[in-house]
């Protein structure tokens, strides 16, 4: 358990279930007693509580705490994590297609190891993309919902493939009476009105890569010739947001060394430009060390996120949605009682296909030295993928085992660990303390919203997940 003090109330965050409970006086007294002693006996309980509460209610509470594994019998062993199970099935619902290694920009911090210029870009063949979709259906038949993600390089540089894949999928999944969603992350520079209308028709989920006001954006997001791209991106974004109606359009910000003012960035992208949601991705373990945020800069980033979190809270208490993506995702995880044994769906619910059909853990690994987990012709290398996932599930030798946020963080991003330590199974130790503090803050925000305006979650959090 982990206690969170909130004004005149104390909340108990139950680590194994990610559940949140408000403590009454008796619960607080029992926890105080157990916190003071290495072991508690029946006479101690009677002496402390007998005059305050009915004995049967105390016994009932103790049994409840035992069932939650908050307390355990003397001589027993505290069981922090379940024994990892064998992983034999991979219920894929998402496939990421790396449609082109080429990109018309030359962003200085790009992690893509297979990235090339447009003239040298290696494009995925339509046949490879179709095989990827069929692999998805073979591994997970009879699902009601599937996702096809187009990635690059710059995915808009291979629109002929995207059009063919969308046409194929819409018919294929309709025949199966299943829904398919299409999503894409793009730098926006190649957008035009006809493309936007086509994406609108097919209800694409669009995310734009943009790093804030002109000076911040142009520092790293440049053309192959070294020119800043803010002016052209802003023009395209204005056009996109003025005519795109199918789904809310989000923005993804990459924070690098020297860029830590998340409030200024958010205000520009959310309030000035009008994105529905803005999320931040700090670079802490990129291959090019000069772009990695320092420890002091990471502290500044998280402090800025807390300030945005306060505005998110104020809006939520007025039953308004504030498009701060990082906080909204944390609220979603807490509201759903996430009990993640893995940090994300990579390797279990999601695989990324490179331009040759190789199966990668996620889109970040295409072109890396990380071994493939099969290909679209032969299928998933299940022994290799099972071994990888089972290794990550076993946290008995890791600091994660007793960490209070282990079922929300679950060790952190595979690729960050791979870039930092050369091992994707190793937890992201380099910012654990900051992440614990961030999630503690999130628990406080969630608790206050739940106590003062619980309808916010039905209005804004649950529909977001459904979409």
Which residues share a beta bridge with 205?
Answer: 183
In this prediction, residue 119 carries a pLDDT of: 58
Please compute the mean of the pLDDT values over residues 63-75 and round it to a whole number. 89
Residue 142 is encoded by which pair of tokens? 């009879």
- Name the more confident of 121 and 202: 202
Distances (CA, A) of 160 to 66, 96, 166, 201, 441: 60, 17, 10, 16, 46
Band (pLDDT 50/70/90 cuts) for residue 117 is low
Please compute the mean of the pLDDT values over residues 82-97 and round it to a whole number. 87
Please compute the mean of the pLDDT values over residues 209-236 and round it to a whole number. 95
Band (pLDDT 50/70/90 cuts) for residue 133 is very high
Task: Answer whether residue 324 shows pLDDT above 90.
Answer: yes
Distance CA 66, CA 76 (A): 11
3-state secondary structure of 17: coil
Neighbours of 79 (CB within 10 A): 10
In this prediction, residue 120 carries a pLDDT of: 73
Task: Answer whether residue 114 shows pLDDT above 80.
Answer: no
Band (pLDDT 50/70/90 cuts) for residue 271 is very high
Distance CA 193, CA 206 (A): 15
| Tens-digit pLDDT profile for residues 348-404 | 999 999 999 999 999 999 988 999 999 999 999 999 999 999 988 887 777 788 888
Q: List the single range of 76-80, 170-174, 206-210, 317-321 with lowest mean pLDDT.
A: 76-80
Torsion of CA 87, 88, 91, 97, to 10 degrees: 90
In this prediction, residue 462 carries a pLDDT of: 78
Task: Answer whether residue 322 shows pLDDT above 80.
Answer: yes
Its pTM stands at 0.91
- Name the more confident of 462 and 426: 426
Please compute the mean of the pLDDT values over residues 73-92 and round it to a whole number. 76
What is the distance in angstroms between the CA of the first residue and the CA of the last residue of the chain? Answer: 32
Residue 144 is encoded by which pair of tokens? 């009601």
Band (pLDDT 50/70/90 cuts) for residue 225 is confident
Distance CA 322, CA 301 (A): 19
Mean pLDDT of the chain: 91
Percent of the chain with pLDDT over 90: 70
Residue 415 is encoded by which pair of tokens? 């690729």
In this prediction, residue 77 carries a pLDDT of: 62
Q: List the single range of 25-29, 67-71, 279-283, 463-467 with lowest mean pLDDT.
A: 463-467
Q: Are 280 and 255 in contact (CB under 8 A)?
A: yes
Torsion of CA 162, 280, 456, 275, to 10 degrees: -60
Distance CA 364, CA 316 (A): 34
Q: Are 122 and 102 in contact (CB under 8 A)?
A: yes
């Amino acid at each position: 358990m982990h206690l969170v003090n909130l004004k005149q109330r104390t909340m108990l965050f139950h680590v194994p279930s990610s559940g949140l409970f408000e403590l009454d006086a008796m619960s607080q007294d029992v926890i105080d007693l157990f916190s003071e002693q290495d072991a508690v006996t029946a006479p101690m309980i009677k002496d402390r509580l007998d005059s305050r509460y009915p004995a049967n209610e105390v016994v009932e509470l103790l049994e409840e705490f035992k069932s939650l594994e908050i307390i355990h019998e003397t001589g027993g062993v505290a069981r922090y994590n379940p024994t990892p199970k064998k992983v034999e099935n991979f219920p894929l619902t998402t496939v990421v297609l790396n449609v082109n290694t080429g990109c018309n920009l030359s962003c200085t911090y790009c992690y893509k190891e297979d990235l090339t210029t447009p003239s040298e870009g290696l494009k995925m063949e339509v046949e490879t993309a179709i095989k990827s979709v069929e692999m998805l259906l073979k591994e997970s038949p009879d699902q009601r919902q599937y996702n096809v993600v187009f990635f690059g390089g710059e995915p808009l540089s291979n629109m002929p493939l995207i059009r063919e894949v969308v046409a194929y999928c819409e018919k294929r999944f309709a025949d199966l009476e299943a829904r398919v969603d299409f999503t894409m992350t793009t730098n926006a520079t190649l957008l035009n009105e006809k493309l936007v209308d086509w994406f609108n028709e097919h209800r694409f989920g669009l995310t734009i890569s943009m790093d804030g006001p002109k000076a911040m954006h142009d520092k790293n997001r440049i053309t192959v010739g070294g020119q800043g791209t803010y002016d052209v991106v802003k023009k395209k974004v204005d056009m996109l947001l003025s005519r795109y109606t199918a789904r809310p359009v989000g923005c993804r910000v990459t924070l690098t060394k020297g860029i830590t003012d998340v409030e200024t960035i958010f205000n520009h992208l959310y309030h000035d430009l009008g994105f529905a949601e803005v999320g931040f991705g700090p670079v802490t373990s990129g291959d090019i060390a000069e772009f990695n945020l320092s420890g002091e800069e990471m502290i500044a980033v998280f402090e800025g996120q807390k300030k945005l979190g306060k505005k998110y809270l104020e809006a939520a208490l007025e039953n308004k949605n504030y498009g701060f993506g990082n906080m909204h995702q944390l609220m979603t995880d807490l509201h759903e009682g996430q009990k993640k044994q893995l940090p994300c769906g990579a390797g279990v619910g999601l695989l990324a296909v490179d331009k040759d059909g190789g199966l990668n853990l996620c889109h970040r690994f295409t072109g890396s030295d990380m071994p493939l987990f099969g290909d679209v012709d032969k299928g998933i290398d299940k022994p290799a993928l099972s071994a990888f996932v089972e290794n990550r599930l076993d946290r008995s030798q890791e600091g994660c085992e007793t960490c209070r946020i282990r079922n929300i963080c679950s060790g952190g991003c595979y690729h960050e660990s791979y870039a930092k330590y050369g091992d994707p199974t190793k937890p992201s130790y380099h910012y654990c303390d900051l992440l614990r503090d961030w999630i503690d803050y999130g628990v406080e925000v969630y608790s206050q919203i739940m106590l003062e305006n619980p309808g916010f979650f039905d209005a804004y959090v649950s529909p977001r997940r459904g979409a």
